[in-house]
């Protein structure tokens, strides 16, 4: 019996030693055995992709700033392809927008294909197209006589005929940065007037032009004639338009018997002052 007990003890000891040795001698614990944890080794990884596209129409010397998902600002200074610096994980949403429009010259850039979800590849079809903005040349006309008309031009064309005082604008809008030059093509003739332009030339700078001024003034002319046959020492009194203003004409002994009467009057007006021109 004693021998049997000894054998049982020995067997039990051997089993216990074997169990202890197996747990410590295998090296890596079960949680780490196999090397890389499930999250990093053997498991699926998510790839990153970039968002990009093409810019067209940007004016020379101008710049436009884009954003993706409200950040990752990207300033572009020339046409061509572009790509945002920050890559996004597959399946992420993207949204490209213009943060700052070009200002010199003034342009409006619009985005096409700018919104979507990454689907296993880089996005390359975002399109940003820029167009230079147009502006109008405005002004004010004053002094035009009733029933008269005046014709203006801008840059040698775009004829504009006006028949009354007030504001005016040329029909053809001009791109920002363009020169403009307003001039009178046809002066009023009934009555005869001379219209002059101020602030008529310049360069569009991101806004409509509103300060062109055209002022018309009715022209003045001379009323005159020839006196003959006046006797020496005699005199004659003339009037113009039956008014109180008059000039007395006389002929001294030995002087010529011809006198010229000259009066400057404004065309279309009633009374004028008579004068003598020798």
| Mean local confidence (pLDDT), 239-243 | 81
pLDDT at residue 256 greater than cutoff 80: no
Give me the pLDDT at residue 268, please: 60
In the chain, % of residues over pLDDT 90 = 63
Look at residues 137, 176, 177 and name the one whose alpha carbon lies nearest to residue 160: 137
* Cα–Cα distance for residue pair 126/97, rounded to 1 Å: 10
Name the nearest CA neighbour of 264 among 197, 233, 218, 232.
Answer: 218
pLDDT of residue 160: 98
Q: What percent of the chain is predicted at pLDDT more than 70?
A: 72
Compute CA distances 112 → 73, 81, 127, 154, whole Å: 18, 14, 5, 36
* Highest mean pLDDT pick, 45-49, 120-124, 239-243: 120-124
pLDDT digits (tens, 9 = 90+) for 151-168: 999 999 999 999 999 999
Answer for the pair 165, 141: CB distance below 8 angstroms, yes or no.
yes
- The dotted CATH code for 135-218 is 2.60.40
pLDDT score, position 106: 97
Which top CATH class is 48-132?
A: mainly beta
The domain segmentation of the chain, as residue ranges, is: 48-132, 135-218, 220-277
Contact 176, 134 (CB under 8 A): yes
Output phi, psi for 243, to 5 deg.
-90, 175
Q: Do domains 48-132 and 135-218 have the same CATH topology?
A: yes
């Amino acid at each position: 019996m004693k021998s049997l007990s000894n054998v049982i003890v020995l067997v039990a000891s051997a089993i216990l030693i074997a169990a202890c040795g197996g747990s410590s001698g295998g090296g890596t614990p079960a949680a780490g055995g196999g090397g890389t944890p499930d999250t990093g080794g053997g498991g699926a990884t998510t790839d990153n992709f970039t968002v990009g596209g093409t810019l067209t129409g940007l004016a020379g010397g101008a710049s436009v700033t884009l954003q993706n998902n409200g950040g990752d600002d990207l300033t572009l200074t020339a046409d061509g392809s572009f790509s945002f610096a920050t890559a996004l994980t597959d399946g992420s949403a993207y949204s490209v927008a213009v943060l700052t429009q070009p200002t010199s010259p003034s342009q409006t850039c619009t985005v096409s294909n700018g919104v979507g979800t990454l689907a296993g590849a880089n996005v390359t079809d975002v399109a940003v197209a820029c167009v230079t903005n147009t502006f109008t040349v405005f002004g004010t006309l004053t002094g035009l006589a009733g029933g008269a008309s005046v014709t203006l031009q801008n840059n040698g064309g775009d004829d504009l005929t006006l028949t009354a005082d007030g504001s005016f604008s040329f029909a053809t809008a001009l791109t920002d940065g363009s020169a403009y030059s307003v001039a009178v093509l046809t002066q009023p003739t009934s009555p005869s007037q001379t219209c002059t332009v101020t602030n008529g030339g310049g360069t569009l700078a991101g806004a409509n032009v509103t300060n062109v001024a055209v002022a018309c003034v009715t022209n003045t002319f001379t009323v005159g004639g020839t006196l003959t046959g006046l006797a020496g020492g005699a005199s004659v009194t003339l009037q113009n338009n039956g008014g109180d203003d008059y000039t007395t004409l006389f002929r001294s002994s030995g002087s010529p018997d011809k006198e010229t009467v000259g009066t400057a009057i404004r065309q279309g007006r009633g009374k004028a002052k008579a004068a003598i021109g020798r």
